[in-house]
Structure 1
Amino acid sequence: MRWQNSVRVVTIAATLLLTSTAAQAQNAEQTPVAANGILSVCGKTLCNGSGVPVQLRGMSTHGLQWYSQCVNDQSLDALAQDWQADVLRISMYIQEGGYEEDPARFTEMVDQYVEEASERGLYAIIDWHMLDPGDPYYNLDRAKTFFTEMAKRHKDKTNVLYEIANEPSGVDWARIKSYAEELIPVIRAADPDSVVLVGTRAWSSLGVSDGADEREVVDNPVNAENILYTFHFYAASHGTEYLDALSRAADQLPMFVTEFGTQEATGDGGDDFGMAEQYIDLMAAKNISWTNWNYSDDARSGAVFKEGTCENGPYPGTGQLKPAGAWVRERVM
């Protein structure tokens, strides 16, 4: 399988950088990870092992407690080969029937999906999908246990990123920052080189959903290296105010959009492809990596597959995709 456009290499002087390893790999029989190696944060963007800026594009799973059946050999082959994705975000809820209920089961499940992504040469985001309650400190001890285990198991891999707080809410930025500064050293103790993704206030909106903006993070950043800050949006609910905040933030902070949809903030309802395209264009222009929500056959419009697809497939092509699925597949490709 030819891995065309495996990771999008962003250049300021493209003609000079076309000789880079990453650019050459665009026409080679290489997976995204083989082409780019271990990632790091360089300045305000994500860079590959050669120091060349890259933009990852891919998909997030739905909650593993509900839709693990959609993450299988055939669907992952389609994501890697047909969609030509770079990254899989593995979303493990903590409450809502997730990790809190059976830590051993969900630890093994996430581990399995990291291995599956690795076999296909995809980057893997281990998503600590805290949602309710929104205070990350509520699960601090659980997070330390889980990420200690994940970092030990995957410290020798070049493709693993750690997202330590999906959508903090109901707390101020200082508390989220404090949580990050307590948890990041736990990961670094076993895996000192991997990138860590830090959630922002008000459901990873940079505080916009609570009437704030990116300045609270710009003025008081997390005291850690090799990190990115996350931003989430749903195009039918989050218009120009959110788009402008992301744009301003990306000029001052390394950003990663780890979750977005073309629908309303519920992940359902009508699609606003026009606003979503504005976000896609901005993320391309400012080299912001992204994963779309979500790679499942949930009944909501934000799930890419039609209901019932995960039972038997097929997964390649557009025949089983909802409108949002066909739209995002094209943009991943």
Structure 2
Amino acid sequence: MIKLRSLTILLSAAFVSSLIAGPVTESGAMKRSGSKIIGTKSNSVVQVAGPSLYWSIWGGEKFYNSGAVAKVVTDWNASLIRAAIGVEGGKGNGGYLEKPDQQLALATAVVDAAIANDIYVIVDWHDHNANQHVTQSKAFFKAMAEKYKNTPNVIWEIWNEPDGSGGTGEYGKDTWSDIKAYANEIIPVIRASSSNLIVIGTSTWSQDVDLAANDPVADENVAYALHFYSGTHKDAIRAKAETALSKGVALFITEFGTTTSDGGQKDGTIYTDETKKWLDWADVKGISWANWSLVNMANMSSDTAKEASAILNKSCANTTGGWSDSDLSTSGKWIVDRLRSRPKTQNTDSAMIMTSVQGGGTVTMSPSSTKVKKGTEVTFTAVPSTGYSFKAWSGASTSTSNPLTLTINENTTLTAVFAAEAGTNMVKSGDFSDATQWTSWADNLTNDATISFANEQVSVTIRKADTVNWKIQVRQEGIPLVAGETLTLTFDAWSSGERILFAQLSSATTYHFQGGEEVTLTDAKQTFTFDMTPDSTTDEGILQFNCGKSTLPVYIDNVSLVKKVPVSVSKTVSGIVNNGSMFNLSGNKIFWNAASANATASIVALSGRVLQKSIIARECDLSGLPSGTYCFIINDGIKQQSFKFTR
């Protein structure tokens, strides 16, 4: 009797589970509404997530089956699947150009499986040169749109990733004008049968969504593809996305990876912290996402065998869904855990909160949960790091109050903006001890370079150079810049011979030049220092070291960017000021004090470079300091006082 009773309970649980409506039944077909995507049935925001299948060639086609789709729905809690229909392939690999009927059959198999499991499915023309295959693209979408014209599950993605070839831009880059012209040919073919959501790729491998937002297509029910790989694409790409959203267009993350943009082939690193930052942002913004990719790399050719972004590990031979968690790769385990933690329904009385910072500091919340019941009051407190002060909030509020209490009725993003005090290094990990604070980029169409972070320095090995420096970059993003505020950049750099390095500040999204200089490197390690005064204010500044103009290597270390210390704060070498700070120079020693027992001091060169910091002893020995003029800065945690002195 006990066994029968247990069996009855299990069967009942399975039966109840089967009655839970899937996302398509719940929400209906997707439809753009301003910068959001909503359901035609629910009339509320729809945000879904799941895996993208690998190319439907090169072995990826083995996973285009009903068993694989059912597994990701029933076990992984996926509400989306993407069919990446390979177009070019070549050499008998069977892309659409070679075997259109085979590719149509693969697309159909995935769509039918998605319908059977009540989830959404992206039908993706997975092509980097779609504007060169317009006739074939029209034929494909005509056939698929006619077949699924009344099917709410389907989303059409008409150009996966426009790249740097086959277009009218520099070096053949696909420009937004090229992409828009292609879209205006394909969209009418789909619209003849289907009114469903269409996703359009954007330039630079579907990253320049801001450019599309400046000149959107006329069709109302479209979104723009946003792609990222967490180890390569960080704050600057999110800034582009924020710009696009602010202009009223909708975005869809139809592909992203947890690795660098090569799929993790070089080092296999999985960037979980940055991936979490991206997906938390997407969840709060209500943007759907598909992870690249559902495949077992043991099925792949040798040149992709190390692709760490694959969800299944190399030892997994099953392609039809019979996977256990032990079959998951490191990236796959993280992604599947993320999928399983997502709500099973779009209807919820909770709201998500995402906090971030500009500059140095942290944000605390009370209550501390990032998911709260709508109507909950949450208090946010901005806590500045040493050398920074709180300036204001941005996002859900522009208040200068700290702490700040908000009533949370919807998904909310809030940023604490901290301003650097004079002499504070605004660069994170200037000694490169934490490589995650830095990114690198090389235009692999015109340059070939390996950029590595090791031994607390960055090394750039260049095999192919171009005529411009910016084609190879070492960069740090998210640096707040203020118009008219002079910053001093200091860094050590060297090479194996004489070559040029260009260091500069620019603005994310527009890449507007904000100041910089060209320096000449030699085989001797040199320290370079110069001032830059930005002409516009942005919270998304970028520090760039551009080195694409020579094949000689580049080595960089000890980077600092500081607000230049004003030298007119005090004209005396001793005195007592209103906040109780005291300063006196006597011989080779400085005697100082402050009202707060927790006060610290620092010594800063007039160039802005910090020479000594976090001084707590009230008697400071200057015997090791070269002759010159300096600033002694006392910081009591609330305000700071600077004293100019000469020795």
Identify the TM-score tier after normalising by the shorter chain: 0.7 to 0.9
1:77 to 67, 70, 75: 70
* Rounded Cα–Cα distance in structure 1 between residues aligned with 2:219 and 2:121: 21
What is the aligned-residue identity percentage?
28
* Rounded Cα–Cα distance in structure 2 between residues aligned with 1:243 and 1:217: 15
Tell me which residue corresponds to 1:140.
Answer: 134
Greater displacement, 33-42 / 178-187: 33-42
What is the total number of aligned residue pairs between the two structures? 299
Instruction: State the Cα distance separating 1:197 from its structure 2 match.
Output: 0.3
List per-residue Cα deviations over 1:223-277 (Å, max 9, x = no partner).
1110000011000111221122223323332000100011011112211111111
Give the alignment's TM-score, normalised by structure 1: 0.85
CA contact (8 A) 2:48 2:79 kept: yes
Change (3 A) 1:190 1:240: same
Tell me which residue corresponds to 1:95.
Answer: 88
* Rounded Cα–Cα distance in structure 1 between residues aligned with 2:62 and 2:339: 22
Q: Which has the greater radius of gyration? A: 2
Tell me which residue corresponds to 1:51.
Answer: 43
1:320 to 324, 327, 330: 327
* Paired AA for residue 157 in structure 2: E
Residue 152 of structure 2 is aligned to residue 158 of structure 1:
yes
* Rounded Cα–Cα distance in structure 2 between residues aligned with 1:260 and 1:50: 27
* Rounded Cα–Cα distance in structure 2 between residues aligned with 1:249 and 1:138: 27
Instruction: State the Cα distance separating 1:38 from its structure 2 match.
Output: 1.4
List per-residue Cα deviations over 1:181-204 (Å, max 9, x = no partner).
11101100011x200000000110
* Rounded Cα–Cα distance in structure 1 between residues aligned with 2:280 and 2:18: 24
CA contact (8 A) 1:92 1:129 kept: yes
Q: Give 1 or 2: higher helix fraction.
A: 1
* Rounded Cα–Cα distance in structure 2 between residues aligned with 1:29 and 1:87: 16
SS of 2:294's partner is coil
* Rounded Cα–Cα distance in structure 1 between residues aligned with 2:319 and 2:35: 42
Change (3 A) 1:316 1:31: farther
User: Structure 2 regions of 5+ residues with no counterpart?
Assistant: 1-9, 12-16, 164-172, 298-304, 341-647
Superposition map of 1:168-187 within 5 A: 168-169=162-163, 170-187=173-190
1:118 to 115, 118, 133: 115
Give the alignment's TM-score, normalised by structure 2: 0.45
2:233 to 235, 238, 256: 238
CA contact (8 A) 2:50 2:79 kept: yes
SS of 2:84's partner is strand
Residue 261 of structure 2 is aligned to residue 270 of structure 1:
no
Q: Give 1 or 2: higher strand fraction.
A: 2
* Paired AA for residue 143 in structure 1: S
* Rounded Cα–Cα distance in structure 2 between residues aligned with 1:61 and 1:215: 27
* Rounded Cα–Cα distance in structure 1 between residues aligned with 2:319 and 2:205: 34
* Rounded Cα–Cα distance in structure 1 between residues aligned with 2:66 and 2:187: 32
Instruction: State the Cα distance separating 1:216 from its structure 2 match.
Output: 2.3
Tell me which residue corresponds to 1:107.
Answer: 104
List per-residue Cα deviations over 1:49-96 (Å, max 9, x = no partner).
221001111110001112122233432222011111111100011102
Instruction: State the Cα distance separating 1:28 from its structure 2 match.
Output: 5.8
CA contact (8 A) 2:228 2:256 kept: yes
Change (3 A) 1:94 1:182: same
Tell me which residue corresponds to 1:229.
Answer: 224
User: Structure 1 regions of 5+ residues with no counterpart?
Assistant: 3-25, 207-213
List per-residue Cα deviations over 1:104-159 (Å, max 9, x = no partner).
1111111121111111111111000002xx3x320100000010000000002110
1:217 to 204, 212, 217: 212
Instruction: State the Cα distance separating 1:330 from its structure 2 match.
Output: 1.6
CA contact (8 A) 2:210 2:241 kept: no
* Rounded Cα–Cα distance in structure 1 between residues aligned with 2:114 and 2:126: 18
Greater displacement, 120-129 / 37-46: 37-46
CA contact (8 A) 2:63 2:320 kept: no
CA contact (8 A) 1:168 1:176 kept: yes
Instruction: State the Cα distance separating 1:222 from its structure 2 match.
Output: 0.9
Q: Which has the higher contact order (CA 8 A, sep 6+)?
A: 1
